[in-house]
Structure 1
Amino acid sequence: MPHDLLVLWDIDHTLVDTRGMGRELWAAAFHEVTGVELREQASIEGLTEPVILRETARLHGVRDSRELFEKFAHALGAAHVRHAAELRVRGQALPGAHQLLTALAQRPEIRQTVVTGNIRTAAEVKLAAFDLERELDFDSGSFGEDADERPGLVRVALRRSDTPTEHAVLLGDTPADVRGGLAHGVRVIGVATGRTSAADLTAAGAAQVLPDLADTERALRLIVG
């Protein structure tokens, strides 16, 4: 039976909040592969790991390369695996995330995946730490390894899932998420649980905006359309 709707989820500040632990693991991986202590990290708002690494490396006088990113991705993934138990204690699933993922999974016409700037291992660990991974088809999603920009990530997920644009909806908390979806004509629902206000998500082009995911029924209505 073909799926009628693909739900594309951003992760950080849409489904989960690592409460600063993500930055700590990032800093440890950066030091491991460059030998340089992290003094400052490039702005991460809506960016993918390759771009964050490239800009942060530049701030520290470190030469960026694909080889550096691959080493960094391996180190960052391993750090998340090692610290998964601590992440579960310190971080949290955002209110309503588990209930909404479960409610959507009960509808046979809906498939759910992720569109995230995280590398795949980090994404899987973050979601598993809060029991959010079970309803998601990771093989249909896209990750930091797949593209430098959000439109590229959306394109990859649509291709992997063999989903036409009009049968997809994206949920995210940043203007970059909105732009990524709109670049391919995907309907976007903003979730104002990050640093971006509901008004700014609307201004960026989100079709609708939720204050959070706590109202399962309202979110379902907006997602299903």
Structure 2
Amino acid sequence: MSDTPLRLVIFDVDGTLVDSQMDILAAMSAAFGRADLPAPEREAVLGIVGLSLPEAFERLAIEAPALTRQSMVEWYKEAYVALRAKVGAAQSSPFYPGAREMLERLNTVPELLLGVATGKSRRGLDKLLEGHDMRHFFVTQQVADHHPSKPHPSMILAALAETGIDPAQAVMVGDTVFDMEMAHAAGVRSVAVSWGYHAAESLSQADALIEDFAELPMILNGFWGTKI
């Protein structure tokens, strides 16, 4: 029996593993249109990716009444579902280069567990996992339905509890400030990716920054002294 401790790598989804920005921008525009409000600029919309939808609309539609913002959440969901249905989840949210290959590589390491912590709903994550045939990669899946919005540490703490992993043996991989703040609050290391929705220079709180998924094993080995 191996003495190597179990370790956990938790991935954000949108902006980290897959690029959903076209549908996010279009669904946001649809929600604002139904509310008869001007749609925010692209940078503002991508800046809130990772937050739960109620929190996102509190920031993007701060002038709107609370009841209107609640409706906008539902209008966004309706538009997103319709957009995804046109082409399927795999095409509407394609993998970033090297993402699937890295998941497959990490999944072969016996002592390494993989998880997800996402601002997506359970339904949204299920559709994505099915569309990309990647449900089998993740032993723990934390979604917005069951937790406070990032950067609250609840998602990571739940993933640690479900897997029995010590915080020192866990890493959060994400593309936003919210991911890095969540990791810090939960007491786990963080790896930021440069290709996501927040500018790389804003992710200075991360323990490491990668520009290609091929760099991730080396970073993890540096954290843990392993040979992945």
Question: Do they superpose with TM above 0.5?
Answer: yes
- Of 171, 174, 177, 1:175 maps to 177
Q: Does the 8 Å CA contact 1:113/1:136 hold for their aligned counterparts? A: yes
Q: CA offsets per residue over residues 131-190 of structure 1, 9 Å max, x none?
A: 4433123xx222122212322322233233333212211101112211100111101111
2:212 corresponds to which residue? 212
Give runs of aligned pairs for residues 2-81 of structure 1, distance below 5 A: 4-28=6-30, 30=31, 35-37=34-36, 39-41=38-40, 43-63=47-67, 75=78, 78-79=81-82
Structure 2, unmatched stretches of 5+, are none
Once residues 89 and 223 of structure 1 are traced to their aligned partners in structure 2, the CA distance between those partners, rounded to angstroms, is 34
1:100 aligns with 2:102: yes
Structure 1 segments, 4+ long, off by >6 Å, are none
Going from structure 1 to structure 2, the CA distance change for 1:131 and 1:220 (only over 3 Å counts) comes to farther
SS in 2 for 1:16: coil
SS in 2 for 1:134: helix
AA paired with 1:149? K
Taking only the aligned residue pairs, the percentage that are identical comes to 24
Going from structure 1 to structure 2, the CA distance change for 1:44 and 1:103 (only over 3 Å counts) comes to same
Q: Displacement, 1:57?
A: 4.8
SS in 1 for 2:168: helix
Give runs of aligned pairs for residues 122-133 of structure 1, distance below 5 A: 122-133=124-135
Q: CA offsets per residue over residues 105-130 of structure 1, 9 Å max, x none?
A: 11121111111111122123234333
Once residues 201 and 28 of structure 2 are traced to their aligned partners in structure 1, the CA distance between those partners, rounded to angstroms, is 31
Once residues 158 and 7 of structure 1 are traced to their aligned partners in structure 2, the CA distance between those partners, rounded to angstroms, is 10
SS in 2 for 1:141: strand
Once residues 158 and 64 of structure 1 are traced to their aligned partners in structure 2, the CA distance between those partners, rounded to angstroms, is 36
SS in 1 for 2:124: helix
Going from structure 1 to structure 2, the CA distance change for 1:83 and 1:155 (only over 3 Å counts) comes to farther
Q: Does the 8 Å CA contact 1:77/1:121 hold for their aligned counterparts? A: no
Q: CA RMSD in A?
A: 3.4
1:82 corresponds to which residue? 85
Structure 1, unmatched stretches of 5+, are none
SS in 2 for 1:93: coil
With the length of structure 1 as denominator, give the TM-score of the two structures.
Answer: 0.77
1:143 corresponds to which residue? 143
With the length of structure 2 as denominator, give the TM-score of the two structures.
Answer: 0.76
Once residues 66 and 104 of structure 2 are traced to their aligned partners in structure 1, the CA distance between those partners, rounded to angstroms, is 44
Once residues 163 and 90 of structure 1 are traced to their aligned partners in structure 2, the CA distance between those partners, rounded to angstroms, is 33
1:119 corresponds to which residue? 121
AA paired with 2:186? H
Once residues 214 and 96 of structure 2 are traced to their aligned partners in structure 1, the CA distance between those partners, rounded to angstroms, is 8
